Amino acid sequence: MYPTLRLLPAALALGLSALFTPATAQDASGGPVTADLIEGWQMPDGSRIDALRLQLAPGWKTYWRAPGDAGIPPSFDWSGSRNLKAVSVLWPTPKVFDQNGMTSIGYTGQVILPLAVVTRGKGPAVDVNLTLDIGVCSDICVPERLELSGTLDSTGSKPVPAIAAALAERPFTAREAGARGVTCTLEPTDRGLKITATLSLPHSGGTEHVVIEAGRPDVWVSEAESSRSGNTLTATAEMIANGGGLLSLDRSAIRFTVLGKSHAVDLHGCTAG
């Protein structure tokens, strides 16, 4: 659906940011974060690749889709947009932070989030009205609501360098990383389920941090404990439904992200172990 541009360095996102005009900009208010939309290009199937850019003040950070125990998950509301069928955020690889002994996962500085945009078929133009709720942290953590609007209507097919650089910073797929799959077991606990996942893949460098996502927004997943032996990485975590109660999971929807020093890997689904 989008081009493979792994070799383009992400540093170009900073150096080339002056070479394009954002579709719209968040008014500067002296706050810790501002946001704007970057117009991208049209794909052969009529879908679009655009981007959301966040600029964080020095010393501040914001969070990835799975923010860790100390983070705040972002929320995107596109409901006010026109000619918009679906949007997927193509997350660049985040950093792992230690916050007073707790782990958080996110970004600092300038962050470009590529967007895979599917229109309703009424031409290439999309009128965006986005309400973005995020958490930002420095010495303190505060919620921020950013409201953006503008029209994305480029019909060009040439990738925008800054967006392409952010796409190149996505985690590797299973094939790119040489992964051979994931098996998992699910055991009941007093509060939910314990998952033990066995990931077959080469080392991603340094200390590896495994993030497990349940595939359901109403399920909290604890920070995983992991260990490695050769090309086998084992991770365990607990899953608890919001409000408690019974919990059932679709193994094919569980997502595993391995954050290593040299690269990250994104794995989808597991089979019964």
Given this model, what pLDDT does residue 86 score?
97
Given this model, what pLDDT does residue 124 score?
85
Given this model, what pLDDT does residue 25 score?
38
Average pLDDT over residues 93-104: 89
Q: Is pLDDT at 29 greater than 60 in this prediction?
A: no
The span from the CA of 119 to the CA of 46, in Å, is: 8
Nearest to 188 by CA among 180, 198, 196: 196
Given this model, what pLDDT does residue 102 score?
84
Tens of pLDDT, residues 171-195? 999 999 999 999 999 999 999 999 9
Produce one character per residue of 128-141: b if its CB has 16 or more CB atoms within 10 Å, e if not: bebebebbbbeeeb
What is the model's pTM?
A: 0.87
Given this model, what pLDDT does residue 9 score?
32
The span from the CA of 70 to the CA of 185, in Å, is: 26
Q: Whose structure tokens read 């929320």?
A: 75
Q: Is pLDDT at 144 greater than 90 in this prediction?
A: yes
The span from the CA of 271 to the CA of 213, in Å, is: 15
Tens of pLDDT, residues 225-272? 999 999 999 999 999 998 877 788 999 999 999 999 999 999 999 999
